[in-house]
Amino acid sequence: MKKFYDLDRFDQMEELCKEALLQMLPTTNLKFSSRYAPFDAYIVTKDKIFLIEMKVRYATYPDYLLEAKKLKGLLAARKKINKDTGKKVVLLYLNFTPKGTYIWDLDRAINGLKESTVSANRYTAKVSNTELKSCYYLPTNKAHRKYKYIFNKEEIVKSILNKEENI
């Protein structure tokens, strides 16, 4: 397994999100998906499966973006998982922000929202630029839940490095 500082920027961000979620929701049912899955994490309960997409936002806004392409992937994953398991699948969108952590139940959140085209940042392992994307604006006041958990990159990196030392 690669060490944190040997990872590319995309994978470092994924690891930061995973560690932050583990700190916020320390549950044994929490599992993480592969890099190319349409969701970042999932929780399986007796009768439901929660698919979780995570983002880190370094600024505070009244609304946060959800890419229409990402939503389409989540909806397709839900359909397949529901068919395979027979369980209800709940889609959650989690945003770590400087003021707290917002979680939207996407079935409730997107009801009545219109798609908009925006110029948004595009990040990959090697490229950072902007492009036009089809997105939904999710208002913070329509978040299903707000946690007081504050994303602190430096503290999370320390936690990851400490775990690496103890392996």
pLDDT tens digits for 93-140?
Answer: 999 998 899 999 999 998 888 889 988 776 654 556 778 889 999 999
- Can you give the pLDDT at residue 124? 52
SS3 122: strand
Q: For 26-36, how does the pLDDT look when each residue is reduced to its tens digit (9 = 90+)?
A: 877 899 998 88
Alpha-carbon dihedral 71, 97, 153, 40, rounded to 10 degrees: -20
- Could you give the residue ranges of the DSSP H alpha helices within 41-142? 68-85, 106-109
What does each C-alpha distance from 124 to 11, 18, 29, 130, 158 come to in angstroms? 9, 18, 29, 11, 24
Q: What is the pTM of this model?
A: 0.87
Please say if the pLDDT value at position 164 is more than 70.
Answer: yes
Angle at 127 between CA 123 and CA 133, to 5 degrees: 45
The pLDDT value recorded for residue 119 is 83
Q: For the chain, first and last CA: distance in Å?
A: 11
C-alpha–C-alpha distance, residues 110 and 131, integer Å:
23
Q: Please, what are the domains in the chain? A: 4-111+139-165 (3.40.1350.10)
pLDDT tens for each residue of 131-146: 888 999 999 998 999 9
pLDDT in tens, 38-77: 999 999 999 999 999 999 988 888 999 999 999 999 999 9
